[in-house]
Amino acid sequence: MAQSSLKQVINFGAGPAKIPKQVLEQVKDELLDCGCGISVMELSHRSSEYTAINNRAIDLYRELLDIPENYKILLMQGGGTGAFASVALNLLHRGAKADYILTGVWSTKAAKEASKYLKVNHVFPKPEKFNGIPDQSTWKLDPEAAYVYYCDNETVNGVEFPFIPETNGVPLVCDMSSNIMTKVFDVTKFGVVIACAQKNLGPAGITAIIIREDLLGKPSPLCPQVFDYTLFTQENSLLNTPPTFIVYIFSLVLQWVKNQGGLVAMEANSKAKSELLYNVIENSRGFYSCPVAKDSRSRITVPFCLGAGAEADKQFLKEAQDLGFLQLKGHRLVGGVRAAMYNAMTLDEVTILVEFMTKFHERNPQYSA
């Protein structure tokens, strides 16, 4: 077993990610007894106690995101990878082809999975590097597409949409796994919104699906029951045994978001954190650089590198690790450094990171570009 450390650590991992300390403390306090004499992990998913937990989670999700009644909320399993398939299998009845907007690793994976079930149209040619979003006037959308799919925030590449795509009436499907709960947005602009829990909603184990009810009712015959949005709607997300402990923590995270001031507060905090980090990058005179176009930069997952190259990145990451900054290493497909700043990450913690970045720059003039 790894030894624990007494030094402060700050977890910048892209997911599974940092969970609010208040939530973890509540989980610890209620671990052996959730109020009925046993742990929530031991509750039957058919019990009245668990039904209350499940309903509270769904109700809070609807309240915080201001989800209209003509949209259903499903708590499913399978992660984002499962959702790549389930979207196609549940919307295939609308047509045998779909438009995909490729802006990074995750939208590309989604398109590849969907291509097993329908014809995938790339609305613009796949770029060699994912470092921005082409102007929407250059896109080639198919008016007969079953849906238009995009990933709102690409965690690997650090690309985030500053706008909601216009689809001229074609249902819009959005993967918001990494930036759900970080901003106010209009749910009615979408047909389906996907969000895996392990970024801003708790531990890995559930995928929250929001779907407009007129899109339900006609899953593909190939669709497994566990991916059937209509069945999950009918069974209130209790079609099969859910990850009960994860749903419980999900409900606690949602209550924490509400207590912090909801999406307005989360959005303001996200803006402040990202501006702080980007400012130190931009003001470093090339010592640090971000490869993403300024109009498409993520507020949530920020990739950057040192201008001097891989050896400088390696030294930066070593010193950061020694000081307790965890999981700052960039994704293997991108390299460099990546700081994930989900809702649980505080402004003070980001301030500590940028102070280290400034001091590292001052101490290492040999790495200047």
Whether 78 has a pLDDT exceeding 60, the answer reads yes
Q: Quick one: which of 158, 260, 253 has its CA closest to 197?
A: 253
Give mean pLDDT, residues 326-338: 95
Q: Quick one: which of 165, 178, 184, 166 has its CA closest to 207?
A: 178
Confidence band for 2, pLDDT divided at 50, 70 and 90? very low
Contacts of 331 (CB under 8 A, 6+ apart): 14, 105, 155, 156, 303, 338
- Is residue 175 within 8 Å of residue 169, measured between CB atoms? no
Task: Determine which one of 199, 273, 313, 329 is catalytic.
Answer: 199
318 in active site = no
Tens digits of per-residue pLDDT, 18-50?
999 999 999 999 999 999 999 999 999 999 999
Contacts of 226 (CB under 8 A, 6+ apart): 76, 77, 78, 239, 240
Task: Determine which one of 106, 183, 228, 273 is catalytic.
Answer: 106
What was the pLDDT predicted at 369?
A: 64
Q: Which residue has the tokens 């070593």?
A: 318
Task: Kindly state the tokens that stand for 300.
Answer: 């949530």
Domain boundaries, the chain: 10-18+262-367, 23-259
What was the pLDDT predicted at 7?
A: 65
Contacts of 2 (CB under 8 A, 6+ apart): none
CATH architecture under which domain 23-259 falls: 3-Layer(aba) Sandwich (3.40)
3-class DSSP state of 326: strand
What was the pLDDT predicted at 5?
A: 46
Tens digits of per-residue pLDDT, 263-294?
999 999 999 999 999 999 999 999 999 999 99
Q: For the chain, what is the mean pLDDT? A: 96
365 Cα distance to chain centroid: 36
Strand ranges (DSSP E) for the chain?
10-11, 71-76, 97-100, 119-122, 148-151, 153-154, 159-160, 172-175, 192-196, 207-212, 288-289, 301-306, 325-326, 337-340
> How many contiguous H segments (helices) and E segments (strands) does the chain have?
9, 14
CA dist 221 and 90 (Å) reads 9
How many other C-beta atoms can be found within 10 angstroms of the C-beta atom of residue 322? 9
139 in active site = no
Q: Quick one: which of 39, 37, 73, 71 has its CA closest to 55?
A: 73
Q: Measure Cα distances from 138 to 119, 125, 171 in Å.
A: 21, 10, 20
Least confident of 3-17, 26-40, 148-162, 219-233: 3-17
What was the pLDDT predicted at 308?
A: 87
What was the pLDDT predicted at 3?
A: 46
What was the pLDDT predicted at 366?
A: 87
CA dist 40 and 43 (Å) reads 5
Task: Kindly state the tokens that stand for 178.
Answer: 């990494």
**Superfamily name with CATH number, domain 10-18+262-367:** Aspartate Aminotransferase, domain 1 (3.90.1150.10)
Tens digits of per-residue pLDDT, 150-192?
999 999 999 999 999 999 999 999 999 999 999 999 999 999 9
Task: Determine which one of 152, 175, 228, 313 is catalytic.
Answer: 175
SS3 content of the chain, % helix, strand, coil (to 5): 40, 15, 45
Whether 252 has a pLDDT exceeding 50, the answer reads yes
What was the pLDDT predicted at 1?
A: 41
- Is residue 80 within 8 Å of residue 207, measured between CB atoms? yes
Residue 338 or residue 36, greater confidence: 338
